Structure 1
Amino acid sequence: MSANSFEARATLSVGDRDYEIFRLDALQSKYDVARLPFSLKILLENLLRNEDGESIRAQDIEALASWNAKAEPSQEIAFTPARVVMQDFTGVPAIVDLAAMRDAMSAMGGDASKINPLVPAELVIDHSVQVDEFGTRYAFEHNAQREFERNEERYQFLRWGQDAFDGFEVVPPDTGIVHQVNLEFLARTIFVNDKLGQAYPDTLVGTDSHTTMVNGLGVLGWGVGGIEAEAAMLGQPMSMLIPQVIGFKLSGELPEGATATDLVLTVTERLRELGVVGRFVEFYGAGVSALPLADRATIGNMSPEFGSTCAIFPIDAETIRYLRFTGRDERQIALVEAYAREQGLWHDADSEEPTFTETLELDLSEVVPSIAGPKRPQDRIALSDAQPAFRRALKGYVPELDGEDDAIDDTFPASDPTASQGPENGDAPRHGHDHAHSAAATVKPRSSRETPVTLADGTKTTLDHGHVVIAAITSCTNTSNPSVMLGAGLLARNAVQRGLRTKPWVKTSLAPGSKVVTEYYERSGLDVFLDQLGFNLVGYGCTTCIGNSGPLPEEVSKVVNDQDLAVTSVLSGNRNFEGRINPDVKMNYLASPPLVVAYALAGSMDADLVNDPLGDDTDGNPVYLRDIWPSAAEVAQTIEQAVQSDMFRKSYDGVYAGDERWRSLQVPTGDKFAWDDASTYVQNPPYFVDLPREPQPTTDIVGARVLALLGDSVTTDHISPAGAIKPDSPAGRYLQEHGVERKDFNSYGARRGNHEVMMRGTFANIRLKNLLGGGTLPEGGNTYYLGGGEREQMSIYDAAMKYAETRTPLVVLGGKEYGSGSSRDWAAKGTNLLGVRAVIAESYERIHRSNLVGMGVLPLQFKDGESIASLGLTGDEEFTIAGIAAGDTVPREVTVNAGDKQFTVTVRIDTPKEQRYYRNGGILQFVLRELLAAG
């Protein structure tokens, strides 16, 4: 029960039902809460409703109500999300930890049944499907079958969890991507707590950074690490600082030829330039009303790419239209509108502009077709500049090009990629498609390293730098958006009708975010044309965008690696970090689904899609992109005809039941999980071994060695195990020692429930550059072991284990934006299990810094103007970090002694709650002790 210090409790009647609400205008007489940003109004209601005098006090409510837009964040508040949403890669370890906590609670004499989600927790299995089969009508069935074969142990565990834990639901495999399922089905916009008879804004945290996609529906939520989500599931309020809020004013309308993807790449570029890490972003202005809900969700989805905590849109008539269109209950829809209007959360053309920390503005009519790459989503490139931008970027991947200009050798026309066609049959060839003859493509640059290759179907062609070897319509960012998805289908139809085909070396795939997409493709008849270009359905889930692109055809992979070709991928995703998409692919570009199809037709990034033809039609006439690009009017007409409300009801009817494969799984029973020591997928993690009932005093870090010395923009992809498991890696050797054949290795993501695999894959990314020894180490998870008097090169995992034998603590040194990217809890868990006690970096991405604290690892920050280089650190030094043991809390600054150097660093434990987490050794240990003490 709320303390209700401001007498905000009231009743809202909607239809025949009364709801308890907490009125924001109860504070209006003293504070101008009406001018607060939409997102802060939601936080304010959260505090009013959950005021308990301890975690949330009256002064916390007043601090938010009197928010100073320009002030640096300093006031801590406790946010209590209404629910938690998870995907299976990050959700499995969260449920593993809950199962381990049940064991620990029982071992410490407590009641294991107390370990349950105390707020609704929903998990969508979407990260496990891989693109093994492609370009055939059987691809989906084959990939789905392989998914179950690879992941049966994990799926059995999740089925057990669905039965064992109260308040936990699982959306089975082959249903959709978590964020699209959240948007189309799970999200409430206004949450109803039937037990309390309350109505309040739907809020959430998710174990995936793109949880922010639901911000497009007026739902406040963001991505957190699995460990933070577990605490939220267990009823722990989340400590946060009242944020600054950036207002992004939209005006005008998108011009002909520009898509929602182009818009979001433009927004990402603008907000990265401004700097919004740790801030909220909120969209307002007349242009909001002109923006379809799907476009809003696309922008919200990319919030992690521009670094903000969230990127939210207000509730308005378009929100109501979308809720109705996607089959939400009419009573719920009426409540959303009535509540939003009553609480000042409704937006229309006459709405007063909120107060913001800073504002920026974008006229939508200025957006142009764009891509982003080759390794960061914020590096937007206008399509008109794509070819020269690629050539400039290529010099960073092909050493012999350094110093060359961008000229090309005009004397050599492009070779005919279709000199020999494979056999024709009902399907496109397994490793290619029905390819049209075209010598009108590009000319070879001087950088050419053109190499012949014969594909499995007999096609003779060539590969070169810049060739697009993966073209994937994938990812939550765009697959929820009918305008770009149907735009891709229409472009495919136009291309096929003009006689164009994708190039034979391109691995094409279509992985929608929900079955609704398949429904409207079939209803529009566009699936036929996508299939003819090889964009057959490969699965419902996160595929290429998270590294589940599957292997390239063997013959393509061999040439790429033998010749060290800088080949490319083009995907309609949100992440294109180095090493993420496929180990054979060095350069990755984000693009709208129609442009993904276009680049599959062109076959190379070294192509000018604006001015040069994509190929010839059946009469030998050149065909340009502008000739086959669908008009906005045709896209809109197709949406109106093909996308119908009944599709959503049909797709989500009985969604939790799953298919026959899911229902027939053999599932263990009981309140406590029956761990299998032989399992290579699920193991009991060691976080609670010999855990005392009371936390022990914190200690200084003495005699530490540097495990890794890293540069700027080291992402959680570089740190956390992700993608394929190499046979000769520590994780690969572990699996082989446990009888797992190479074909059954699966991915790191699929094995996140086994800490033995994951700690071996931490800091093992093939593109990680450990600069110890002056940069003499090869890329990958390598380091120098310094405990024996001389440098000894070995894997980071092996070195960490050798240091553990002598109880030598470890530190990691980093540069700017340490830990940017996805909210990967294993980036922090693996760091902890390797024995790293502290990270010292120039700056941190919000989620990873929080996760480090949550795992008991101390995040330290160099003073402004100081860095590894400025301090002359080599990483060979022994480190002692003094001042940690000063008392119950770690001071704001501590002293570091590194060899003969001494400097002061800032402790990035940012809230009192984080101090308690660190003192307990981590958030899980803190929660367990709290529940145990509660009796």
Structure 2
Amino acid sequence: MNGIGDCTKKIMTAEGEVTIFSLRELENKGVVKDLKKVPYSIRILIEGVLRQRGETIGDEDVRNVASWSPKGNDVDIPWIPARVLLQDLTGGAAVTDLASMREAVAKIGRDPETINPIIPVNLVIDHSIQTDVAGCADAMERNEDIDFSRNKERYALFKWAQQSFKNFTAVPPWNGICHQVNIEFLSPLVHVKECDGRTIAYPDSCFGTDSHTTQIDGLGVAGWGVGGIEAEAVMVGQPSYMKLPDVVGFKLTGELSPGVTATDLVLTVVQMLRKKGVVGKFVEFYGPGYQSLDVSDRSTIANMAPEYGATMGFCPVDQKTIDYLRLTNRSPEHIETIKTYEMEQMLWYDPLNIPEYSDYLELDLGDVEPSVAGYKRPQDRIPLKDMKTAFGEALKALGVPEQRMGDGERMGDGSVAIASITSCTNTANPSVMIAAGLVAKKAFELGVKPKKYVKTSLAPGSKAVTDYLVKSGLQQYLDAEGFQNCGYGCMTCIGNSGPLSDDVSKQITEGDLAVAAVASSNRNFEGRIHPLVKTNYLMSPPLVVCFAIAGRVDIDMTSEPLASVDGKDVYLKDIWPSDEEVKAVMDQYVTKEAFAAGYDNIYKGSDKWNSIECSETALFGWDKDSTYIRNPPYFEHLADEPEIKDIEGGRCLAKLGDSITTDHISPAGAFGEKSSAGQYLISLGVQKKDFNSYGSRRANHEIMVRGTFANVRLRNQLVPGTEGGYSKYVPDGSVDYMYETSEKYRKDGSPLIVLAGKDYGMGSSRDWAAKGPLLLGVKAVIAESFERIHRSNLVGMGIVPLQFRDGENADELELDGTETFDIDLSDLSPKKIVSVLATKQDGTMIKFDTICRADVPVEIEYIANGGILPFVLRRMIAE
């Protein structure tokens, strides 16, 4: 087969002449048959592999992507994004790993400064801040003081990285949420860059160490979440491999009905796509309804791609995209360059030429109704009118025989303990933020307020939000209703909801109440928002205010009053703003100037940030006494040669059910004194008030390994009747925490496995959900199916993912987890059938076959090397 040859072309733009890697030229050469029929998201993949041909990406890869077919694509492709986005929890671990690689290189006498990100990396510090203080005028200032006191050590690491690494920028804390900052400021949409003596232009694309990186898809950027492990690999030049995805076309028609929000729309889309089944696929939106949506609405839908299971929820570029770029204060010259480039490359949305898709779905926006989702999964949409009934069903599922009602200021089952306007999903959408402000205004004017036991909070995703809320006068009403700004960060959404009051905690624990959290966030998994809160509901910001006022979730807001003032009932319709009211405020106050002010000097940081001292050396100054940052052990025991060993006499550490999330495997929130991590810190003299969270201590492997499988809602079937990360040491039947049990097996020399059901590892893309099991001694996970990112992360840490054959699972095979497991990993190859022999305590043997879910040849190399990082380090040493 002849080589593809040069496909570059020069075009004139507002920023001068640029060289592009032309998709039209590729079509002219017959490599792409008909570009108009190829989904827009796949066109971006084609450009990427075309431009990045070299040592690891070749002409065959270009032909594979260019031959994308709606009938199916059983081929694996390499992908290197234009840049990487880090948040500070997973990003902190990535920075620590790079620092550790520098240490390893220095130990063998090489130059540590050769270890740098090869592609641009943007770190946004947004996941550390907690809602320690809320519902008062000085909440933000007090939280900032606590944050810098608590995280000063970690922030010094980030400042060191900012100064020491090339191709690395850091947005200091207290500027916004990474995904919102990404779409409002960081993404250029089209890169214009000097390279080898010429100016080249190419589409932005992005890997992010957070699932909701997909928010950038709303801007027409191909971006999705990966684990920190996968991100680190592309940072140091190793392509990420994935199956060339199917693309589901989602046609939107009509218009939203009055009073229906973008949040209602996205919860409907999530439910539809989960039902459709789009795991591992791209979803691409189109149609007249799509064209009617602003980028802020599109990004709300795109943000939730992990919730509907897709790799991306892609929104092609059109005039609405250009309007958004102007609104968010991008350079006028660059905006013109973007438009020229997108049209030349046939990346500009053309409503007259709809691509061919692998499958189709359609929604009339007029059919969307006000909704919430819960009580524990984002895809479980509940029409607002059915909320009262749905909560009753939740109580039954939780084993509550009869609802205990609250009275006035006393709490009962269904009382709202937390009401938080938070998360990039919704705070990046001015329409729902303005609506929340207007609800607060109307409520204040009618004299109704949230119940006293409700912990209310507002965490804007960027300072631009504060600008338009303050200048419009709406912030004063949010303040009056208890939604004072408590900080710029993920906060409640990530599980950093902070403490409840002593009285509220006492009421919940003494009554064993099933209370609720209502939040404008994107995740509501068990144990995520707060350990004392058993039911969690997602909803729009204005509905958060309404439920805070009602003080309970067992209510039909469409017919029942939210509250009474002086004997007069106040209903939802009394405080809900019209679309015209929302639009009038947006038109006047959501302006280019608001975004210019919000992002002015964003890299400078506050006085607190600038006062942090850090070393300016090539090697990070590890402190052996640090309880936050430790040199990880991944490079300590590198074997002379890579090899894959059979698993002999393996023991099951955990037998788990379906839908085990990365929150279950590696929780990010607070932990108690009696936990393994808590006991470890106490042994070092750390007081409980200074524990912080698992997420904030993610750069300390000693904490994180003890926090693995430590979610308070995890149920290990090896230990029936327990909840909270217990396991059984089978030889003597003793029960203890996972970490302590794993240590007993380590002393025996027993390798460990995990048994699981469907969708193992769904949820946030947490690297420690793979790193933690590795350090516990887990060598293989046998599950019915794996979430895409987590499967990749397991391989990236050298853990073998094995999938039961269709129709089989642990229960069908009568495995109870007390068996010993012998797994034949000889001559391992992608998708190979791997034989497993399970021997019960009475000698009975059960033999079954599994499928190796290392999906491409290089992943076998990762497993043999003990993970991606040792693989890359070995290559660097060899060079």
Alignment TM-score, normalising by the size of structure 1: 0.92
Deviations 1:328-357 (A, max 9, x none): 11121011100000010111443x000100
CA distance, structure 1, for counterparts of residue 74 and residue 864 of structure 2: 21
Question: Is 2:375–2:535's contact at 8 Å kept on the other side of the alignment?
Answer: yes
Q: CA deviation at 1:259?
A: 0.2
CA distance, structure 2, for counterparts of residue 667 and residue 110 of structure 1: 24
Residue 251 (1) aligns with residue 192 (2): no
Deviations 1:793-850 (A, max 9, x none): 1110001011111211000000001000000000000010000000000001100000
CA distance, structure 2, for counterparts of residue 583 and residue 622 of structure 1: 34
CA distance, structure 2, for counterparts of residue 363 and residue 560 of structure 1: 42
Residue 868 (1) aligns with residue 868 (2): no
User: Where do 5+ consecutive residues of structure 2 fail to align?
Assistant: 840-844
Q: 1:557 to 1:496 in 2, by over 3 A?
A: same
What aligned pairs does 1:402-441 form with structure 2 within 5 A after superposition?
none
Q: CA deviation at 1:323?
A: 0.6
Of the three residues 750, 772, 783, the one matched with 2:718 is 772
Residue 542 (1) aligns with residue 482 (2): no
Residue 906 (1) aligns with residue 847 (2): no
Of the three residues 580, 583, 608, the one matched with 2:556 is 608
Counterpart of 1:925? 870
Counterpart of 1:806? 748
Counterpart of 2:13? 14
CA distance, structure 1, for counterparts of residue 410 and residue 601 of structure 2: 49
**What secondary structure sits across from 1:686 in the alignment?**
coil
Deviations 1:183-205 (A, max 9, x none): 11001111122234210000010
Of the three residues 41, 48, 51, the one matched with 2:50 is 48
Q: CA deviation at 1:602?
A: 0.5
CA distance, structure 2, for counterparts of residue 802 and residue 132 of structure 1: 37
Counterpart of 2:435? 487
CA distance, structure 1, for counterparts of residue 870 and residue 563 of structure 2: 62
Q: 1:21 to 1:720 in 2, by over 3 A?
A: same
Of the three residues 499, 507, 510, the one matched with 1:559 is 507
CA distance, structure 2, for counterparts of residue 317 and residue 216 of structure 1: 13
Counterpart of 1:341? 343
Q: Which amino acid aligns with 2:98?
A: L
CA distance, structure 1, for counterparts of residue 10 and residue 406 of structure 2: 72
CA distance, structure 2, for counterparts of residue 823 and residue 349 of structure 1: 34
Question: Is 2:116–2:165's contact at 8 Å kept on the other side of the alignment?
Answer: yes
Counterpart of 1:208? 210
Q: Which amino acid aligns with 2:320?
A: E
Residue 751 (1) aligns with residue 697 (2): yes
Q: 1:695 to 1:19 in 2, by over 3 A?
A: farther
Counterpart of 1:885? 826
Of the three residues 563, 576, 593, the one matched with 2:524 is 576
Question: Is 1:25–1:34's contact at 8 Å kept on the other side of the alignment?
Answer: no
Question: Is 1:289–1:348's contact at 8 Å kept on the other side of the alignment?
Answer: no
Counterpart of 1:294? 296
Give RMSD over aligned pairs. 1.3
CA distance, structure 2, for counterparts of residue 16 and residue 210 of structure 1: 32
Q: CA deviation at 1:450?
A: 4.1
Q: CA deviation at 1:876?
A: 0.6
Counterpart of 2:479? 531
Counterpart of 2:23? 24
Q: Which amino acid aligns with 2:69?
A: N
Counterpart of 2:574? 627
**What secondary structure sits across from 1:733 in the alignment?**
helix
Counterpart of 2:666? 720
Q: Which amino acid aligns with 1:765?
A: N
Deviations 1:891-923 (A, max 9, x none): 611100001100000000011221221121101
Residue 833 (1) aligns with residue 775 (2): yes
Q: Which amino acid aligns with 2:21?
A: F
What aligned pairs does 1:362-381 form with structure 2 within 5 A after superposition?
362-381=363-382
Q: CA deviation at 1:400?
A: 2.3
Q: CA deviation at 1:5?
A: 2.2
Deviations 1:507-563 (A, max 9, x none): 000001001111101111011111111000110000111110001101110110111
Deviations 1:149-182 (A, max 9, x none): 0001000111011111111111011110000000
Q: CA deviation at 1:6?
A: 4.1
Q: CA deviation at 1:737?
A: 1.2
Q: What count of residue pairs does the alignment treat as equivalent? A: 868
Percent of paired sites with the same residue: 51
Counterpart of 1:448? 404
**What secondary structure sits across from 2:89 in the alignment?**
helix
Q: CA deviation at 1:860?
A: 0.4
Q: 1:284 to 1:355 in 2, by over 3 A?
A: same
Deviations 1:574-603 (A, max 9, x none): 000000000110000000000000000100
Question: Is 1:136–1:536's contact at 8 Å kept on the other side of the alignment?
Answer: yes
What aligned pairs does 1:187-266 form with structure 2 within 5 A after superposition?
187-196=187-196, 197-266=199-268
**What secondary structure sits across from 1:463 in the alignment?**
coil
Question: Is 1:4–1:48's contact at 8 Å kept on the other side of the alignment?
Answer: no
Counterpart of 2:842? none
**What secondary structure sits across from 1:212 in the alignment?**
helix
Q: CA deviation at 1:616?
A: 2.4
Q: Which amino acid aligns with 1:896?
A: V
Residue 646 (1) aligns with residue 602 (2): no
Question: Is 2:528–2:667's contact at 8 Å kept on the other side of the alignment?
Answer: no
Q: CA deviation at 1:4?
A: 7.8
What aligned pairs does 1:116-127 form with structure 2 within 5 A after superposition?
116-127=116-127
CA distance, structure 2, for counterparts of residue 47 and residue 891 of structure 1: 25
Question: Is 2:262–2:297's contact at 8 Å kept on the other side of the alignment?
Answer: yes
Counterpart of 2:418? 470
Q: Which amino acid aligns with 1:722?
A: A
Alignment TM-score, normalising by the size of structure 2: 0.97
CA distance, structure 2, for counterparts of residue 121 and residue 514 of structure 1: 20
What aligned pairs does 1:383-394 form with structure 2 within 5 A after superposition?
383-394=384-395
CA distance, structure 2, for counterparts of residue 292 and residue 17 of structure 1: 30
CA distance, structure 2, for counterparts of residue 587 and residue 897 of structure 1: 40
CA distance, structure 2, for counterparts of residue 10 and residue 395 of structure 1: 64
Q: 1:4 to 1:513 in 2, by over 3 A?
A: farther
Q: 1:176 to 1:584 in 2, by over 3 A?
A: same
Question: Is 1:697–1:885's contact at 8 Å kept on the other side of the alignment?
Answer: no
Question: Is 1:85–1:122's contact at 8 Å kept on the other side of the alignment?
Answer: yes
Deviations 1:39-72 (A, max 9, x none): 00000001111112x522222212222212122x
Of the three residues 778, 783, 792, the one matched with 2:727 is 783
Q: CA deviation at 1:28?
A: 2.2
Deviations 1:605-639 (A, max 9, x none): 11111101112245x32211012110111101110
Deviations 1:637-685 (A, max 9, x none): 1100111101211221211110100001011221001100000000000
Counterpart of 2:311? 309
**What secondary structure sits across from 1:118 in the alignment?**
coil
Counterpart of 2:642? 696
Question: Is 1:202–1:219's contact at 8 Å kept on the other side of the alignment?
Answer: yes
Question: Is 1:499–1:616's contact at 8 Å kept on the other side of the alignment?
Answer: no
CA distance, structure 2, for counterparts of residue 303 and residue 892 of structure 1: 30
CA distance, structure 1, for counterparts of residue 477 and residue 488 of structure 2: 19
Q: Which amino acid aligns with 1:161?
A: A
Counterpart of 2:144? 144
Counterpart of 1:331? 333
Question: Is 2:82–2:205's contact at 8 Å kept on the other side of the alignment?
Answer: yes
Q: CA deviation at 1:885?
A: 2.1
Q: Which amino acid aligns with 1:103?
A: E
User: Where do 5+ consecutive residues of structure 1 fail to align?
Assistant: 402-446, 452-459
Counterpart of 1:66? 67
Residue 270 (1) aligns with residue 216 (2): no
**What secondary structure sits across from 2:648 in the alignment?**
strand
Question: Is 1:28–1:34's contact at 8 Å kept on the other side of the alignment?
Answer: no
